[in-house]
Amino acid sequence: MFSYRNKESCIIFYKRKIEVNNGTYFLRVCSQSFLCKFISIVFLHYKTTVMNSRRDFLQKIAAATIAVPFSSQVTTACKANNKSYDGPALRVAIMGLGSYGTRVAEAMRDCKDAKLVGVISGHPEKISAWQSRYNIPVKNCYNYENFDNVKDNPDIDAVYVITPNGLHHDEVIRVAKAGKHVICEKPMALNAKQGQEMVNACKKANVRLLVGYRMHFEPKTLEVIRMRKAGEFGKILFFQGLSGFVIGDPTQWRLNKELAGGGALMDIGIYSINGSRYMTGEEPLWVTAQETKTDPVKFKEGVDETIQFQLGFPSGAVASCLSTYSMNNLDSFFLNGSQGFAEMQPATGYGPIMGHTHKGELAQPVVTHQTVQMDEMSAIILQGKQPVVPVDGEEALKDLRIIDAIYEACRSGKKINLNL
């Protein structure tokens, strides 16, 4: 049996077998096309960004999911969606051609309802590389000074903002004012005040604001949500979320208060915050939190290293979560009810997501999260589709209110009431 808890399990992942229900699936060791794709992605990543341990973490968990090497388990976005939509694709420009922007762009190659058509970047050499790689016309290329001109471009429907957190607020508002739909990466903003301004600006401009909550489209996650809604766990009593990794390079923007807005909580702890909501199906009423710091040089004032927080829900259910930049192997969710449980590990990495419930292994298909997300977001924006779990600005605003309250609880040592 594949051990979730084995530290090296993800690295040697595709050499191992995974047992899914009663069937055993052997993961193919690198087909030729997988190797080509993988090498080119790694090349692009090294070209565009500095290696950091967050990416290491997510990639170890991912075990090269973007390369889609698993014949029997992998279902592309389109198969997973079971779509019949035949209309136009959502034409997207990516802003910020960094690590995650690159991952999204690669995943979008397999989209049926979304297409990468433009870029916004501060680096002309990246723009040229992306133009040739993704066949992007020069008229769809912008920099941070001139991207407001996207308003005059009828060939771009939406801009996907994938820049450091501290830039999201102004960039999203500028895109909205240019009359384009916006997809923004998590965390949507640095705090709820900024988030509210972004929501208001998009409403005023009559454009959609969606946030990159890729787990809201992940099949095993959706199965747990389905089971919970069907009452299969009984009364929900407890959620535990563990989210963390050891962060590397001390000079990266993720450790810069202005650009990151905080530390681990903004970046990785948000998965446990958001997860506690979609796993329990409730909005928390209160929060308590405690911060610990072992390295005040690396984690300066306002940049949190480790925070434990607790949430209380209207039903009486409680959540206990850990967010950290100083511990590896933390990516797990546990949901406990009066009649059953669900345990997921990895719970939020790029995949494969793995888990089981009191009824057995979760055997839903492995998908490339960003491919499914972008096809689904196309359907949300162009066809008004309602996702099972919301991915709009209001949803992100709730996480930001909880984040504000967690920081307040750390500062004051008090229990903070929430009104989401």
Residues that bind ligand NDP (CB under 6 A): 48-49, 96-101, 121-123, 126, 162-165, 167, 185-186, 212, 214, 253, 259, 267
- Residue 271 annotated among the catalytic residues of the structure: yes
Concatenated DSSP letters of 247-293:
---TTSGGG-HHHHSSSHIIIIIHHHHHHHHHHH-S--SEEEEEEE-
Nearer to ligand NDP, 26 or 46 (CB): 46
From the CB of 160, what's the least distance to ligand NDP, in Å? 10
Contact indicator for 162, 104 with CB cutoff of 8 Å: yes
Closer to ligand NDP by CB, 9 or 48: give it.
48
Q: Which residue, 134 or 253, has its beta carbon nearer to ligand NDP?
A: 253
Instruction: Mark 279-311 as b/e (b = at least 16 C-beta within 10 Å).
Output: bbebbbeebbbebebeeeebbeeebbbbbbbbb
Nearest CA to 113 out of 416, 347, 377 is that of: 377
Catalytic residue among 4, 271, 278, 325: 271
Closer residue to ligand NDP, CB minimum distance, 321 or 416: 321
Nearer to ligand NDP, 98 or 393 (CB): 98
Of residues 37, 112, 180, 186, which has the active-site annotation? 186
186 part of the active site: yes
> Taking the CA of residue 12 as centre, how many other CA atoms within 13 Å lie in the half-sphere pointing to its CB?
10
Residue whose CB is less far from ligand NDP, 36 or 50: 50
Name the residue with the smallest CB distance to ligand NDP.
98
Q: Is 385 exposed, middle or buried (0-12, 13-18, 19+ CB in 10 A)?
A: middle
Q: How far is the CB of 98 from ligand NDP (least distance, A)?
A: 2
Q: Coil, strand or helix: which one is 23?
A: strand
Q: Where are the alpha helices (DSSP H) in 124-269?
A: 124-134, 165-177, 192-205, 219-229, 257-260, 264
User: Is the omega angle on the peptide bond into residue 164 within 30 degrees of 0, that is, cis?
Assistant: no
Q: How far is the CB of 323 from ligand NDP (least distance, A)?
A: 13
| 167 three-class SS | helix
Contact of 243 with 344, CB cutoff 8 Å:
no
Q: How far is the CB of 162 from ligand NDP (least distance, A)?
A: 5
Least spacing, CB of residue 58 vs ligand NDP, in Å? 6
Radius of gyration, alpha carbons of the chain: 20
User: What 8-state DSSP symbol labels residue 365?
Assistant: P
Nearest to 35 by CA among 14, 55, 52, 51: 14
Shortest Å distance, C-beta 198 to ligand NDP: 13
Number of H helices, E strands in the chain: 13, 17
CB-wise, 122 or 179, nearer to ligand NDP?
122
Sequence letter at residue 196: Q
Query: Which is it for the CA torsion 338, 340, 345, 350, positive or negative?
Result: negative
Shortest separation between residue 107's beta carbon and ligand NDP, angstroms:
11
Q: Distance of CA 294 to CAs 157, 161, 246, 308, 403, Å?
A: 46, 33, 13, 14, 21
Q: Of 187 and 284, which has the nearer Cβ to ligand NDP? A: 187
Q: How far is the CB of 301 from ligand NDP (least distance, A)?
A: 20
Return the number of other C-beta atoms located less than 10 Å from residue 416's C-beta.
18
Residues near 251 by Cβ (< 8 Å), separated by ≥ 6? none
The catalytic residue positions are 186, 271
